[in-house]
């Protein structure tokens, strides 16, 4: 006999205990200190308020007592109406309840909500509007909390079932019950739009904390940490998109961290690892009533972040093992999973020489960086820019998830068992069946039922076809992993070509050659209308050399937009563009220069000339090619000549018959403001109208 409910002390109870066909003669009774105590091989029965209750004598904790086949249960709760009025619920009010939680898939990046159906005794209309218990209180929008108790160690021990918001009430006339339905806070909470005003880069943990703070929620301190990838730096804001809620943003972030989001039975928000290696419950044949084994298994090997139809990032334990439905988890649609390019701007120290091959930036009044067209001297407020991509970041996320899920195994099972509210979606259970075989799996979905006793149904449903190259897919990162195959997709980069006699044929009309074979190493040449013509590598080079703008030979002058080039490289385009012309020679005494023509007349020329090319010069032309060098620098000695080749004994030689030398001009006040003047300095004094020179001690006229 399995005593699983409470019994009133009657002669019939004595008969039940003392004549138990399976347990006789292992029961006896006695009066101890005026109290009836019945000793049974399952434990001791204690008289409580006129009822005999089985008290588990080994003082098991809640989970042990709730799984005992001789358990005694109680249920209670509270309805808190809008405005704060409370109504206590007892087992006399509660007829039945059920709680559905989870989904039929791995809870990775999921927001797992729970739903309640609660039946209350309404024989005399006490829970209808105006009834003896409800009165005029509003029920829709009220908060319901429930607790399930089990008797052990001399008292009832209660555990939370959950906290729910009532969405609807239903009463059928003539029936003795009213049904309340509702959901936990996750369905109604964090529905405001998420606004990301962070300055990136940010770590995954910082993004997580930012969302929590904006949502204004407090996490259960036992479940407030992401499982992995917390320190990975995200360089650019994720592509959150429009209309994103705080709940969705948090779920996406949980997916990156190997977790999912739920409201615990205590009513607090919890961030829970999607995989735990240790089983919280071990079930045997005395604790479950029915087992349906799908005989389908999953052993984790690979994580795949799907960025687009043709782009993904993967990490595998065994890279040589092919992707399949029974070993791969695929995440897609997550705002974190896209390729980005980011820039880092670094200030250039004052006085740093300009690098003509670099691009420089400045920061405008709004804080944005803009490109500088030209820079001559740095004053400490110019910036250089470096570019980085997030491929390493994406790979690090995949590697972190791979490490987190290493060891994950699943078996497709549905189990009806005695139930325990301490078991949650995401927990692991190990079951030993009647044949003695043990299996471990994860709880994807669970239903708790209370009606004339308590039981639960848990499931781990695997939807896969081992014949297809499929894998688990995450739905937009904010729900769960579906586990459906995708047979319509070929592996990335695959194509299908029609074959004829083992040779690939592409018709001429589609850009083909019309030939059945093309020699190995050949190139194809086309004119835009006719069939492609095969060309050997030597013929390709000949074709290039025969281009009309190439001067007839690759070893000669090359003209671009110039039929008769006058230099090694002669570039000509429209008159509105300034095109450089470069001339060089292998002769040691010939000139080597770069010249810039504008419209064929004006321009400039920079080059080297003279014996051994020891003169560097700069020409500025009014009539191109007719003037002499305007600036010459001897490369060997550093002598500078302006308008002439410099005298060997002069560091600066200035020559002109039409222009004068003009030193710096300033007033006496301005002259005296020169800091630490040096002996030999010369200025023209606008106050005294004469040249001044500094003798190392003071300024004076020449």
pLDDT classification of 683: cutoffs 50, 70, 90? very high
Q: How does pLDDT run across 215-229, given as a tens digit for each residue?
A: 999 999 999 999 999
Helix (H, G, I), strand (E, B), or coil: what is residue 654?
strand
Which position has the higher pLDDT, 257 or 642? 257
The pLDDT of 385-390, averaged and rounded, is 72
Whether residue 435 is found in the same domain as residue 530 = no
- Burial class, 166, CB count within 10 angstroms (exposed 0-12 / middle 13-18 / buried 19+): buried
Residue 210 lies in a domain: no
Domain end, chosen from 132, 155, 184, is at 184
Whether residue 175 is predicted with pLDDT greater than 70 in this model: the reply is: yes
Residue 301 near residue 317 (C-beta atoms within 8 A): yes
Q: What is the per-residue pLDDT for 636?
A: 60
Whether residue 354 is found in the same domain as residue 449 = no
pLDDT classification of 178: cutoffs 50, 70, 90? very high
Which position has the higher pLDDT, 388 or 511? 388
Domain end, chosen from 473, 498, 516, is at 473
Q: What is the rounded distance in angstroms from the CA atom of residue 401 to the CA atom of residue 64?
A: 34
Whether residue 333 is found in the same domain as residue 446 = yes
Residue 497 lies in a domain: no
Whether residue 83 is found in the same domain as residue 148 = yes
Q: What is the per-residue pLDDT for 655?
A: 86
In 191-349, alpha helices (H): 204-215, 246-256
Q: In the structure encoding, which two tokens stand for residue 28, read together?
A: 């006896």
Residue 13 lies in a domain: yes
Query: Could you give the percent of the chain with pLDDT greater than 90?
Result: 42
Which range (164-173, 407-416, 524-533) has the least confidence? 524-533
Q: What is the per-residue pLDDT for 407?
A: 95
The pLDDT of 681-689, averaged and rounded, is 92
Q: What is the per-residue pLDDT for 316?
A: 96
Whether residue 525 is found in the same domain as residue 616 = no
Q: What is the tally of structural domains in the chain?
A: 7
In 362-454, alpha helices (H): 391-405
Q: In the structure encoding, which two tokens stand for residue 73, read together?
A: 């249960």
Whether residue 22 is found in the same domain as residue 156 = no
Q: How does pLDDT run across 595-640, given as a tens digit for each residue?
A: 666 555 556 666 665 555 555 655 554 444 445 556 666 656 678 8
Whether residue 329 is found in the same domain as residue 441 = yes
Listed residue (113, 92, 278, 91) closest to 186, CA to CA:
113
Which position has the higher pLDDT, 336 or 1? 336
Whether residue 314 is found in the same domain as residue 434 = yes
Residue 318 lies in a domain: yes
Q: What is the per-residue pLDDT for 173?
A: 83
Rounded to 5 degrees, φ, ψ at 250 are -70, -40
Pairing of strands 328-332, 302-308: parallel
The CATH number that applies at residue 130 is: 2.40.30
Whether residue 82 is found in the same domain as residue 174 = yes
Structural domain boundaries enclosing 449? 281-337+393-473
Spatial CB neighbours of 195, under 8 Å, sequence gap ≥ 6? 214
Which range (137-151, 524-538, 625-639) has the least confidence? 625-639
Residue 235 lies in a domain: no
Residue 262 lies in a domain: no
Q: What is the mean pLDDT of the chain?
A: 76
Whether residue 399 is found in the same domain as residue 457 = yes
Helix (H, G, I), strand (E, B), or coil: what is residue 313?
strand
Longest alpha-carbon distance in the chain: 140
The pLDDT of 432-453, averaged and rounded, is 93
Whether residue 477 is predicted with pLDDT greater than 80 in this model: the reply is: no
Q: What is the per-residue pLDDT for 438?
A: 94
Q: What is the rounded distance in angstroms from the CA atom of residue 264 to the CA atom of residue 257?
A: 19
Read out DSSP for 500-544?
A: BTTB----GGGT--S-S---TT-EEE--SSS--EEE-HHHHHHHH
Q: How does pLDDT run across 293-322, given as a tens digit for each residue?
A: 988 899 999 999 998 888 899 999 999 999
The pLDDT of 398-427, averaged and rounded, is 95
Residue 197: count of CB within 10 angstroms of its CB: 7
Q: How does pLDDT run across 272-283, given as a tens digit for each residue?
A: 999 999 988 999
Domain end, chosen from 452, 473, 494, is at 473
Pairing of strands 177-183, 114-121: antiparallel
Residue 109 lies in a domain: no
Rounded to 5 degrees, φ, ψ at 13 are -60, -40
Residue 236 lies in a domain: no
pLDDT classification of 653: cutoffs 50, 70, 90? confident
Report for 11-15, 389-393, 460-464, 499-503: range of highest mean pLDDT: 389-393
Q: What is the rounded distance in angstroms from the CA atom of residue 7 to the CA atom of residue 647?
A: 125
Whether residue 349 is found in the same domain as residue 314 = no
Whether residue 404 is found in the same domain as residue 288 = yes
Helix (H, G, I), strand (E, B), or coil: what is residue 71?
coil
- What b/e sequence results for 64-101 when a residue is b if at least 16 CB atoms lie within 10 Å of its CB, and e otherwise? ebbbbebbbbbbbbebebeeeeebebeeebbbebbbbb
């Amino acid at each position: 006999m399995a005593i699983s409910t409470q019994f009133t002390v009657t002669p019939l109870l004595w008969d039940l205990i003392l004549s138990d066909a399976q347990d006789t003669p292992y029961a006896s009774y006695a009066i101890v200190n005026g109290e009836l105590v019945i000793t049974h091989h399952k434990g001791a029965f204690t008289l409580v308020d006129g009822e005999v209750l089985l008290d588990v004598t080994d003082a098991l904790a809640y989970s042990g007592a709730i799984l005992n086949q001789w358990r005694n249960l109680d249920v209670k709760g509270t309805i808190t109406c809008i405005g704060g009025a409370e109504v206590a619920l007892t087992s006399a009010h509660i007829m039945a309840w059920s709680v559905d939680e989870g989904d039929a898939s791995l809870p990775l990046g999921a927001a797992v909500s729970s739903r309640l159906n609660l039946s209350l005794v309404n024989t005399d209309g006490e829970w209808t509007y105006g009834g003896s218990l409800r009165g005029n209180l509003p029920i829709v929008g009220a908060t319901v909390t429930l607790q399930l108790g089990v008797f052990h160690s001399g008292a009832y021990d209660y555990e939370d079932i959950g906290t729910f918001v009532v969405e609807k009430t239903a009463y059928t006339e003539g029936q003795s019950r009213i049904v309340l339905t509702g959901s936990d806070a996750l369905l109604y909470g964090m529905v405001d739009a998420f606004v990301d005003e962070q300055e990136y880069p940010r770590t995954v943990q910082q993004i997580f904390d930012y969302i929590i703070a904006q949502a204004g929620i407090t996490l259960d301190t036992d479940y407030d940490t992401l499982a992995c990838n917390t320190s990975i730096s995200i360089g650019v804001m994720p592509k959150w998109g429009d209309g994103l809620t705080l709940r969705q943003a948090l779920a996406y972030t949980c997916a990156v961290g190997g977790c999912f989001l739920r409201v615990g039975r205590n009513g607090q928000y919890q961030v829970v690892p999607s995989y735990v290696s240790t089983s919280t419950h071990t079930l045997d044949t005395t604790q479950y009533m029915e087992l349906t084994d799908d005989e389908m298994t999953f052993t984790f090997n690979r994580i795949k972040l799907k960025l687009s139809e043709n782009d993904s990032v993967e990490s595998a334990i065994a890279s040589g093992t092919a992707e399949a439905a029974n070993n791969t988890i695929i995440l897609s649609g997550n705002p974190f999973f896209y390729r980005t390019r980011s820039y880092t701007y670094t200030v250039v120290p004052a006085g740093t020489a300009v690098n003509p091959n670099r691009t420089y930036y400045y920061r405008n009044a709004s804080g944005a960086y803009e490109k500088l067209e030209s820079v001559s001297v740095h004053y400490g407020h110019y910036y250089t820019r470096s570019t980085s991509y997030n491929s390493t970041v994406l790979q690090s996320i995949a590697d972190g998830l791979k490490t987190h899920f290493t060891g994950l195994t699943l078996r497709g099972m549905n189990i009806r068992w005695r139930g325990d509210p301490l078991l949650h979606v995401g927990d692991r259970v190990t079951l030993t069946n009647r044949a003695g075989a043990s299996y471990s799996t994860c709880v994807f979905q669970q239903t708790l039922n209370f009606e004339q006793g308590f039981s639960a149904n848990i499931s781990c449903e695997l939807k896969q076809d081992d014949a297809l190259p499929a894998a688990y897919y995450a739905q937009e990162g904010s729900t769960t992993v579906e586990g459906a195959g995708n047979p319509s997709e070929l592996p990335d980069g695959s194509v299908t070509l029609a074959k004829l006699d083992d040779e690939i044929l592409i018709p001429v009309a589609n850009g083909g050659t019309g030939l059945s074979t093309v020699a190995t190493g050949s190139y194809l040449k086309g004119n835009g209308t006719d069939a492609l013509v095969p060309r050997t590598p030597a013929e390709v080079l000949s074709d290039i050399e025969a281009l009309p703008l190439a001067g007839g030979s690759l070893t000669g002058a090359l003209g671009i937009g110039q039929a008769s080039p006058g230099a090694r490289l002669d570039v000509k385009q429209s008159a509105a563009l300034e095109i450089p012309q470069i001339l060089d020679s292998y002769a040691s005494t010939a000139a080597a220069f770069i010249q810039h023509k504008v419209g064929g007349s004006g321009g400039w020329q920079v080059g080297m000339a003279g014996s051994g090319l020891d003169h560097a010069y700069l020409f500025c032309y009014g009539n191109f090619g007719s003037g002499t060098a305007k600036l010459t620098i001897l490369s060997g000695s550093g002598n500078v000549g302006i308008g002439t080749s410099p005298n060997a004994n002069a560091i600066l030689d200035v020559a002109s018959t039409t222009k004068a030398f003009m030193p710096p001009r300033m007033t006496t006040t301005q002259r005296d403001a020169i800091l630490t003047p040096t002996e030999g300095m010369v200025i023209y004094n606008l106050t005294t109208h004469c040249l001044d020179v500094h003798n190392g001690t003071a300024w004076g006229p020449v």
